[in-house]
Amino acid sequence: MASIRDLTCIRSVSHMAEYGKYEEEFIVYGCSCMEKGKIVYRISPQYQEIAQFVEASRRKRQYPSPVHTLMRRCVVQTGQREQLLYETELELAGVLQKTYSRVFFEQLEQCGNAEAFNAAKVIFDELRFQLNGIFSSDYLQLFEGLVSVAWQAHLLTEDALVEIEQWLHKVKMQMAYDIVAKKPFVRTFYGICYVDAKGKYQYKVNAQEDIVLEEQRKAKRQNLKVSPIFHKTYWYDYGVEPKMIREQFKKEVQDYYGDLYWQYWDILRRLGSGVSREQYVKTSNFIDEQGIQEVTNAFLEYGYDWNVRTCSDNK
């Protein structure tokens, strides 16, 4: 038998439907960045659009803010959806504008626009030699993650990176006609590995990339060893539960982010950075004085990516 609450909800929904009204949840994602001296705001209801923009920006040595999320639930009348979505996007843009000032981006550029050197190239030459003839998208993704670690620390020049990207493109083109057995259901999972304060491997996996990204950001702020985000798409049939696929993915993440991976990660991190640690500390102190925790966190994460933080920098 339906409860009074259930009957009330049914009548409420029927009433809203009758008058062309319904409740909807709007979720938008966004970040800000300085491009050619102008601060721009990238907002979208699609997380992947913002994630791709962030990745492209870092490839060009531009430094966007962290990705922010805004959720807004409201009653939508017929024909109002686009307007309400636009208002939600404007609201998030306002949050970004209030949080990240021009000074923040100028300080980021001042630190990050340092000259790169090719300390890591010999390592990637060796890895490319080992990967020749091994057509594995998973291995290539791990390789690309290490390249990103080196690039962000200014351990590769633009010419060296272009050479690596051309090699990756060539290998991927050779794999373009690999047959994928597609089944009725598909799901993509994302995961990271980090080494906790006791030196033990910990793994975080989820079907939502933004949740895994937040775990990665937290590890960076704590100055823990943390991997790039690894992702994989699975096609599966009837009778297979998503949690079974999730466990399979977690096992693969554990296998890939093992001792051998961290050996290469450690070698790269020991190479230092093209970014001046002295400049980073000076700028970090200036950022802290602004008293905005989100900004302090963002700068800590950039310090981690640039490989200029030490244990004494932890906050």
pLDDT digits (tens, 9 = 90+) for 109-153: 999 999 999 999 999 999 999 998 888 999 999 999 999 999 999
pLDDT of residue 4: 52
Q: What is the 3-state secondary structure (H, E, C) of the chain?
A: CCCHHHHHHHHHHHHHHHCCEEEEEEEEEEEEEEECCEEEEEEECCHHHHHHHHHHHHHCCCCCCCCEEEEEEEEEECCCHHHHHHHHHHHHHHHHHHHCCHHHHHHHHHHHCCCCCCCCHHHHHHHHHHHCCCCCHHHHHHHHHHHHHHHHCCCCCHHHHHHHHHHHHHHHHHCCCCCCCCCCEEEEEEEEEEECCCCCEEEEEECCHHHHHHHHHHHHHCCCEECCCEEEEEEECCCCCHHHHHHHHHHHHHHHCCHHHHHHHHHHHHCCCCCCHHHHHHHHHHHHHCCCHHHHHHHHHHHHHCCCCCHHHCC
pLDDT of residue 114: 92
The stretch 185-194 carries a mean pLDDT of: 95
pLDDT digits (tens, 9 = 90+) for 22-73: 688 989 999 999 998 999 999 999 999 999 999 999 999 999 999 999 998 8
How would residue 240 be classed by pLDDT, with cut points 50, 70 and 90?
confident
Asked whether the whole model's pTM tops 0.95, one would answer no
